[in-house]
Amino acid sequence: MIDVNTIIGDPVETPDGNVILPISRVGFGFAAGGTEFRLGRDKAAAVNHGPDAQALPFGGGAGGGVSIAPMGFLIVGQHGVKLLSAEPGNQLYDRLIDLAPTLVDRLEAFTKNKRAEHNSTPTPPM
């Protein structure tokens, strides 16, 4: 019913060498149920299992559903992997996640420069 190409679509290669993979969210569910109904007010008919027992009517049902919604695009290129969200309201979080490695690199470079400045500064004589 659902294969991998439903969730991760066929890759598309762009002229600049990036590969774009469409990603979808797939959900499905099934349910079934049934019951026997007692007719009238005669409770003994529902309990009596002997040869003169009356058959109770049966009611039942079943159902199922599938939901497929586009989630975004996975872009693989020379500069790394990036997720471009198709869901409204997620652009801020995606942008923060994309910027996190750059921010960490800048903080590391900043702390290294501060350490180097601290270690290279001569101490004044006393």
pLDDT in tens, the chain (126 residues): 566 667 788 888 989 889 999 988 888 899 999 988 776 665 554 455 555 556 678 889 999 998 888 888 888 888 888 878 777 766 666 667 667 777 788 888 888 888 887 777 666 665
Whether this model's pTM surpasses 0.85: no
**DSSP string for residues in the chain:** ---HHHHB---EE-TTS-EEEEEEEEEEEEEEEEEEPPPTT-SHHHH--STTPPPPPEEEEEEEEEEEEEEEEEEEETTEEEEEE-STT-HHHHHHHHHHHHHHHHHHHHHHHHHHHHHHSPPPP-
